[in-house]
Structure 1
């Protein structure tokens, strides 16, 4: 049947990569302490399950409160209704700028779309031509690669940085790329960091801004985990807050309801920008990927609900507890982890279980953990790691599930 498809259509007819297949396999063999105690524990997908009941209850209340009229059930602006974008701007005002800031987010700085993936792809299309380059400090969110390259054709170039986001590393990468005849159009990074869970210090984020300004390029700051900071000693600072007013139109923030609010299935993301042409571009492109009017009405009511802040606090408390249970469990079997301060994942060093320091052996170890222990984790190579043996594990489950994952990992043989 493949011969009936176009050349470009044929590339989409492909089997799922093993790591993607592992995610979907979870649907058919999901671990349950009572019903399926030997089932798969999916620690490869960055989703939180810690306040499922509370969020569902809040959505039921929000459904009763939402203002659903004839206006809400028909076509609306592709970038999102005025009411929805206003509610988003009011909620994220404190996250990005703070309540007492002299800069105010309005609906005119917000565009919504069907997930953060779409927001990132749209920015790639608006800011770069196919073959242009985005510099991405590594380790990085693995799907950044597909988000900007699969259809937009932007080339991702990893820049190995420590948590200080060393400017010299960016300068070296920039020089190398330009010598190859390519054009760097932006820096793309996640803040807080995915996969490590680092909350960048002010000076680190400032390094990115200073580098971008020096080379007249844009910055895309994916702040999808901004509301998951559970370390009391860490302070999240939005990239947009630090940039000078004269360059604010060159910094774009993406986020979503998928992580902080647990609503990954709602497919609702957004872009914040002070470049009106970026927002106008979203208004055109999101014709193909806008958010349903019903979802917008429901989430508008949720953002206005008095119970929301308490649920977010509870989520962070449970994240901290789950993180410490899992990190302590790994430490007990001699598996080091990198300190996480936010997010729903931790990077763990399983290199002691590898015979050779090679990424091929890392993949073999992933298969062993998946097939023998029925735990899905993500190999570090996906995130641009320069050392084999690191794996990302998402731990945002109830305590029984986290303890069970630790019990199984303790049986892993070297």
Structure 2
């Protein structure tokens, strides 16, 4: 059922805004859902390459589930249905089951019978989690999360479980922090290109503005002190109060880690300006080649700064592939922010059953070590395969070492260096070549011709088909085929 928006005086101002729905980031889902690729049922359908999911390690956790039957969705017998809930779902309810491979987690569940209270083996603990719990997270869950946060950061930083607050996904966690730090009309600086989801969950309900720090391809989109100062000054000249800076590390959409020197520059900058620093580190364990990931938590041990300004966001959607479990984490060095987040978290809780299950799994250190190592290896292999396929098509990407996507350079395929030409090319890629990718303008990139394309959200056969289609469209567009006819008829 498609619901319509109606401007109504009976509703609030916030209800009459489209909160980013006109962005391709949100609209492409409808296009894909109308014609999804399937190797046998719909081989000419659209291949989903716009969603930033890591589906390469589901069978690892499935194996753990099979060894720990009580930690399954409900039982060892139900572990094979893990695939139906671990990926992103429609936020208003579960869609039809997806044909994914989550066997690794399901195997772990079946081998660990007591890890779920919804199983005979775990039923004795049911009474302990069925009632209200600490809204900011079960103690054993926060303990386990603190340990894995340390582990994925190379054991270089210790985290206090009492400084951890849970929320329903990193999006909810970030919005919660934003409510703590800024008032409507205030601004946060954001290096461009940036994750378009920020336009909804950082702005829509909070009323906060996002002010671009312009980064350019000439230096591989690196964040510089000069660009930060220029953005800060421009905001001040526009009478906008700047309350902070927000980044993703590894970057979304660039797919590379923010290096130590740049992080030192960022921390020094926010300390000089006495503004807040939100660092989204949800891709911390997806780094598959050097340089290693560096957390802002390391930097504040090296650089003198006001720690009350530092706020870390984390989750399990990318590092463990558990995007459907909706686990977001706030870790702030500011006591007041932590106290406020504890109070606010009661409206965006993580279910106690989810916490119980994940706490059991994260506490299995042998499994987690094996999982993180294998996940990085698989991401690295998939990235190499993908890059080689693009090179075969004559397409280059920004050099990357983490996350689950590439920043693809299609500037040579534009008819002219404009965002209108980028939009025409994007529509052709979706409508003619049936590949769901995202144009750079969606990410507020200041240069037309860049696209984010995900490589870890499909199986090997689908990837093979996708690369074949990419090679065909690159060849045909460079040779001038299809372009005018397919863009002029509105496709």
TM-score (norm 1): 0.93
Q: Could you say what the CA RMSD is over the residues aligned between the two structures, in angstroms?
A: 2.1
Stretches (4+) displaced over 6 A? none
Partner of 1:255: helix, strand, or coil?
strand
Shift of 1:54: 2.1
Q: Which residue of 2 aligns with 1:41?
A: 47
1:123 to 177, 182, 196: 177
Residues of 1 paired with 2:394 and 2:185: CA distance?
A: 44
- Structure 1 residue runs without a partner (length 5+): none
Whole-angstrom distance in 1 between the partners of 2:257 and 2:20: 36
Where 1:373 maps in the other structure, the secondary structure is coil
Partner Cα separation in structure 1 for residue 425 and residue 155 of structure 2: 48
- The question of whether the paired residues in 2 share the 8 Å contact of 1:326 and 1:403 is answered with no
* Contact 1:88/1:303, CA 8 A, preserved across alignment: yes
Aligned to 1:176: 234
| Mean CA deviation greater in 10-19 or 209-218 | 10-19
Query: How far is 1:14 from its partner?
Result: 9.3
Instruction: Work out whether 1:383 is the aligned partner of 2:440.
Output: no
Per-residue CA deviations over 1:175-198 (Å, capped at 9, x if unaligned) read 111122111111100111111111
Identify the range of structure 1 (293-302 vs 395-404) with the bigger mean alpha-carbon deviation.
Answer: 395-404
Please say if 1:78 is aligned against 2:78. Answer: no
- The equivalent residue for 1:6 is 11
Name the CA distance, whole Å, in 1 between partners of 2:35 and 2:61. Answer: 24
Which residue number corresponds to residue 257 of structure 1? 316
Equivalents in 1 of 2:30, 2:60: separation in Å? 25
Evaluate the alpha carbon distance shift between residue 16 and residue 213 of structure 1 in structure 2; reply closer, same or farther with a 3 A threshold: closer
The partner residue of 2:28 within 19, 22, 25 is: 22
Q: Unaligned stretches of 5+ in structure 2?
A: 1-5, 73-112, 116-121, 478-491
1:285-337 CA-to-partner distances (Å, cap 9, x unmatched) read 12211111111111111111231221222221111111111111111121121
Tell me by how many angstroms 1:37 deviates: 2.1
In the other structure, the counterpart of 2:63 is 57
In 1, Cα distance between equivalents of 2:135 and 2:20: 33
Q: Provide, for residues 5-56 of structure 1, a one-character-per-residue CA deviation record: whole Å limited to 9, x for no partner.
A: 4143642689954542422554564333344322221110101111122223
Q: Matched residues in 1 for 2:472 and 2:16: separation?
A: 40
Tell me, what secondary structure is at the counterpart of 2:258?
A: coil
Aligned partners of 2:179 and 2:388: how far apart in 1?
43
Count of matched residue pairs? 410
Bigger radius of gyration among the two: 2
Separation in structure 2 between the aligned mates of residue 201 and residue 240 of structure 1, nearest angstrom: 13
Structure 1's 165 and 19: CA in aligned 2 closer, same or farther, altered over 3 A?
closer
1:215 corresponds to: 273
Q: In structure 2, do the counterparts of structure 1 residues 260 and 36 end up closer, same or farther at CA, with 3 Å as the change threshold? A: same
| Cα gap change, 1:42 to 1:182, in 2 (>3 Å) | same
In structure 1, the residue corresponding to 2:432 is in which secondary structure?
A: helix
Partner of 1:149: 203
**1:98-119 Cα shifts (integer Å, max 9, x gaps):** 5365xx3122111110011111
- Aligned residue in 1 for 2:333: 274
Partner residue of 2:353? 294
C-alpha contact 1:164 1:203 (8 A) present in aligned 2: no
SS in 2 for 1:121: helix
Selected match of 2:383 from 315, 323, 346: 323
Q: By how many angstroms is 1:125 displaced?
A: 0.8
Is 1:392 aligned with 2:424?
no
Asked if 1:224 corresponds to 2:282, the answer is yes
Q: 1:49-80 CA deviation, whole Å, 9 max, x = no partner?
A: 11122223334523423263312112112211
Q: Is the 8 A contact 1:80 1:112 kept in 2?
A: yes
Q: TM-score, normalised by structure 2?
A: 0.79
Q: What SS does the corresponding residue of 2:306 show, helix, strand or coil?
A: helix
Aligned with 1:108 (options 162, 165, 168): 162
Tell me how far 1:147 sits from its aligned partner: 2.1
Q: Which residue of 1 aligns with 2:155?
A: 99
- Deviation readout 1:224-268 (Å, 9 max, x if unpaired): 11100001x211110121114752232111011111111111111
- What residue is the counterpart of 1:374 in the other structure? 434
Match of 2:481 in 1: none
Contact 2:271 2:305 in 1 (8 A): no
Q: Tell me the equivalent position of 1:408.
A: 469
Counterpart position of 1:201? 259
1:336 aligns with 2:380: no
Whole-angstrom distance in 1 between the partners of 2:65 and 2:334: 33
Contact 2:213 2:231 in 1 (8 A): yes
- Deviation of 1:127 after TM superposition, in Å, equals 0.6
CA distance, structure 2, for counterparts of residue 174 and residue 136 of structure 1: 10
1:357 and 2:411 are equivalent in the alignment: no
Q: Which residue of 2 aligns with 1:236?
A: 293
In structure 2, the partner of 1:191 is 249
